[in-house]
A and B are shown apart, each in its own frame.
Chain A
Amino acid sequence: MFVFPKNLYTDVRIEDVFKTTIAYTLGKLDEQKVRKYKAAFIRIFDGEKWYYSATSDVEAVQGEIDALAQLATPNPGIYQDPIVQKLEANTGEHTKFQTDSVAIIDSAEKLKLLQSHFSTLTEVEEIKMWKARYIDENVRKEFYSSKGAELNFDFQKAGFTLSFDMAAGERRFSEAFTKGSDSFQDLQDAHQEAKAHVAKCLDFLHNYRTLKPGKYTTIMAPVVAGVFAHESFGHKSESDFMVGDETMKREWAIGKKVGADILSIIDDGNRPGSGYVPFDDEGTKARKSYLIKEGVLSDRLHSASTAAALEEEVTGNARAMNFEFEPIVRMTSTYIAPGKKKKEELFREVEEGIYIEDLKHGSGMSTFTIAPSLAYYIKDGKIAYPVNIAVITGNVFETLGEIDGLSDGLDVDTKVTGGCGKMEQFPLTVGFGGPYVRVKNINAQ
């Protein structure tokens, strides 16, 4: 298909994107948009440096290859280079959503679905401001390399968000109800769920109290636990941070005890949902990676470059946000494996603590942070009342050792908005999840 330059490694990623956005504010249509485009990202490697080009003109890919080749230094031994050796040369058609594509669903159906939720918001007097937004995206990728990769795969997401600002006197509260899936059909019949969420928010607005800052035993709902896993440990498993760094290699040696015995954290691009990526943007097939298994550091996430540098195997985690960027090491679906306790047991065993049901955002470096939205005070094993918390924080390693209870269910959320940010590439769609997770000594303020 392309003429690849001699003595250089080359790959081409072509993205064919379909995206719908429908947005309303206070019942008035702001936007109804379908975006379709095809664009490409080209990489050339000469054994010393990578050369990249992003183009929105797929007819010009060959020209871009030729121009990039002029910048590189031909290397007759390029196919013996350790990085190139790690690159897989997968082939074939691996599409999953061509018959169930959101691109073939009529826009009127999407509009109708969104409008059917308006009454949930308009019937609540305390909701002063609201927005409703439907989003779907179907991405089909082609991948070709000078090693012989010739690959097609796809992924998609669909969902809607009802975001609202509530006010009562001097009290304010902002929240959102979100429903997401990889299938449009799964979005139907979420009305009771949405109403229940709004009712919970209303209760929060009228009854929240201020939490005394301090350290609390904290129970996290699955979505919060997923963000906690992603932020507290997932980013530290992205091995690009370790390349060429002897301290990091020593500190992050496989086999090191890093968390409680009951803790296992998994990243898996094969799992259906918003983190589903059957192949990464280097053409590597997705793997299930146990980042932590029973409290022990077991694996980490790789691109071909990092796998070569650390003499480990590729994991299918070299991902790019879109055609404008090169792939870097990123997570896919990251979740905490379930435990053995019943959810009720987790709560019953807490004399005084907090429960985080939903969140605004999280971050993770040496300390992780989660900014809760819906949070509750637990007293004598029961939820007592809602509380306002700006942020919960903890030292990552201390906190992973403080996990003392996991419920027996697993819930991996499909996100339709937001995503993960890493340096210049934000947002990248990922999946989060886990069971209900109980952690001691979390700092809340």
Chain B
Amino acid sequence: MIKEKYIQRTKETALNVLQTQVESLRKKDVTKTGLRLYKDGHIGVSGALGKYDEAELEQRAQDALGLQVPYDLKVSQDNKQTMEICPDLISEQDFPAEMEAMLAELRKEQPKFSFSNKIKLTEREISLVNDKDLDLRFKDRLISMELVIKEKASANLFDAFSGYIGRSYERREFLRLTNDICNAYQNPVDLPQGEKMPVVFSTSDLLPLKQVIMDLNGQSFGTGSSLLAGKAGQQVFNENFTLYQNHNPEDSIQPFFDAEGVVNPDYRYTLIDKGKVVTPYTDKKTAAQYNLPLTGSAKAEYDAVPTLDFTSCKIQESEKTLKELLQGQMAVFVLVASGGDFTPSGDFGTPVQLAFLFDGERLIGKLPPLQLSANVFSMYGEDFIGVGKNSLYTLGKEKYMIMNMKVSQ
């Protein structure tokens, strides 16, 4: 029998912002412990919040083993790695005062807008340790700035959004980001003529990637229900489109290992290489069942059996800046696009609640509400332009992809 513990600790200070003032402070320190027992091709899992009795936790895991949940797979072992990412980020003690000061500047610099929602400072510790010499530990500190922007004269619930999740904070840079959005918002511009035009999405916006992510699911791929099933090795997309499963802390906030303890070289796995489908993402069970490469894409709640799920991805940046990719063309920069989806045949449609006209460097002005439409194979095929090598701001290391789409009002 192998005994394994999966522990997630979250320590967080969260400020709620209401009308550009701190309205509340929330402290959280929650530890979630999962105990997994592996025996004779089965897994039994029990879990506890906070303090627990070791013997009782083990007894419950033993009871769960009796339910005979199959797990006839090799448990990760002989791997000891620790990664501590504790950047020179603001301290928990200084955090509330700094945010009050930042909001005071925002009130002065953007008097026509109010700002609400959450600002959080989070410390996470995730470990997966078993008695077969697996000892993976990840410790991280993150700041999450998520401000909803409302023009005071507007009757909308909110009008725009400013924020990022990252491992650095600089007051002036965050104010620059927010000021750019507010200033562009106040300059309404017309949509340029033309049915198709370049559209810019943040690569952290999963809406345009939703179909690709669904179709790269190992189970869908293996059973033949994916639009990409049977297309491994084929040139399906544009040769500028390379997609990785990504657990690299350089540009991901995921731990470097998945919920089954799989660690990839460089913490990445190539799923699409220069437009060719390489492999879907898989956990151990899916990889074994469909004879696919194991990419390490298992997720689990603290008290659950690990299961296949999408974790995090990265699209390879091009050698060009956003400005160079646009070659002098104006683009639609999507800031808020909510509610869209793909049809079963891969057609994409979404309203864009807030978009800006963009020249590759600067948000020029606010476009009217738009509709975007495309097909997944054209979005990442002939209409894919690329991902810029540059970020627009230094805070969250956000990258942006550009593709031609049908744009209408």
Q: State the Cβ distance, A177 to closest chain B Cβ, in Å.
A: 17
Q: Is A302 an interface residue (CB 8 A)?
A: no
B30 and A71 within 8 A (CB): no
Check A52/B338 contact, CB under 8 A, given A172-B227, A369-B351, A388-B343.
no
Please judge, given known A-B contacts A37-B49, A369-B351, whether A49 and B24 are in contact too, CB under 8 Å: yes
A236 to B148, CA, bound (A): 15
A423 and B220 in contact, given A71-B25, A243-B19, A391-B339 (Cβ under 8 angstroms) = no
Which residue of B16, B30, B303 is within 8 Å of A33 (Cβ)?
A: B303
CA of A366 to CA of B69, assembled, Å:
47
Kindly state whether residue B342 has any CB partner on chain A within 8 Å. Answer: yes
Q: CA–CA, A248 to B114, complex, Å?
A: 12
Asked if A210 and B347 sit within 8 Å, CB to CB, the answer is yes
Number of B residues, CB within 8 Å of A: 68
* Interface: A344 (CB within 8 A): no
Chain B residues positioned under 8 Å from A393 (CB to CB) = 339, 351, 371
Q: Which residue of A lies closest to B20 (CB)?
A: A244
Identity of the chain B residue whose Cβ is nearest the Cβ of A57 in the assembled complex: B50
Q: What residues on B are CB-neighbors of A389 within 8 Å?
A: 343
Picked from A51, A165, A247, the residue with its CB within 8 Å of the CB of B155 is A247
Q: How far is the CB of B354 from chain A (nearest CB, A)?
A: 9
A402–B70 alpha-carbon span in the complex (Å): 54
The residue in chain A whose Cβ has the minimal distance to the Cβ of B225 is: A165
User: Distance in Å from the Cβ of A257 to the closest Cβ of chain B?
Assistant: 15
Q: Is the CB of B69 within 8 A of A361?
A: no
CA of A275 to CA of B283, assembled, Å: 36
Given A33-B64, A128-B223, A247-B152, A55-B29 contact (CB < 8 Å)? yes
B47 to chain A, nearest CB (A): 7
Say how far B118's CB is from chain A's closest CB, in angstroms.
6
Point out the residues of chain A lying under 8 angstroms from B148, CB to CB.
Answer: 423
Residue of A nearest to B67 (CB): A32
B49 touches A129 (CB 8 A): no
Interface string of B352-364 (1 = CB under 8 A from A): 0100000000000
A20 to chain B, nearest CB (A): 12
User: B292 within 8 Å of A by Cβ?
Assistant: no
- How far, in Å, is B34 (CB) from chain A's closest CB? 10
Give the CA-CA distance A55 to B28 in the complex, in Å. 7
**Of B16, B114, B226, the contact of A244 (CB 8 Å cutoff):** B114
* With A367-B351, A390-B349, A390-B350: A56-B49 Cβ-Cβ less than 8 Å: yes
Spot the interface stretch: A3-11, A22-30, A87-95, A349-357: A22-30
Is the beta-carbon distance between B223 and A165 smaller than 8 angstroms? yes
Do B307 and A391 touch across chains, with their CB atoms under 8 A apart?
A: no
Q: Which of B26, B70, B152, B158 counts the most A-chain CB atoms under 10 A from its CB? A: B26
Q: Contact flags (1/0) for A236-273 with B, using CB distance below 8 Å?
A: 10001101111110011000000000000000000000
Residues on the B chain within 8 Å of A23, using CB: 307
Output the nearest chain B residue to A365 by Cβ-Cβ distance: B353
CB pair A32–B70 under 8 Å, yes or no, is: no
B382 within 8 A of A: no
In the bound complex, do residue B219 and residue A25 qualify as a contact, i.e. CB atoms below 8 Å apart?
A: yes
Interface presence of A112 (CB below 8 A): no
- Nearest chain-B residue to A35 (Cβ)? B303
Q: Give A334-391 interface residues, CB cut-off 8 Å to B.
A: 360-363, 365-371, 388-391
B156 proximity list for chain A (CB < 8 A): 365-366
Residues of the A chain whose Cβ atoms lie less than 8 Å from the Cβ of B224: 128, 167
- Residue among B155, B348, B353 with max Cβ neighbours from chain A (10 Å): B155
30 CB-based A-B contacts, threshold 8 Å: A26-B223, A28-B70, A33-B304, A35-B303, A50-B23, A51-B27, A52-B24, A128-B224, A167-B224, A171-B344, A210-B345, A210-B347, A213-B349, A235-B157, A236-B157, A247-B152, A251-B155, A363-B339, A366-B156, A367-B351, A367-B353, A367-B369, A371-B339, A371-B341, A388-B343, A390-B343, A391-B339, A391-B349, A393-B339, A445-B349
A-B residue pairs, 9 tightest by C-beta:
A369-B339, A56-B50, A390-B349, A165-B225, A50-B24, A363-B339, A371-B341, A56-B49, A251-B155
Known: A51-B26, A213-B373, A246-B152. 8 other contacts (CB 8 A): A29-B67, A31-B304, A57-B51, A165-B225, A171-B344, A172-B344, A371-B340, A390-B350
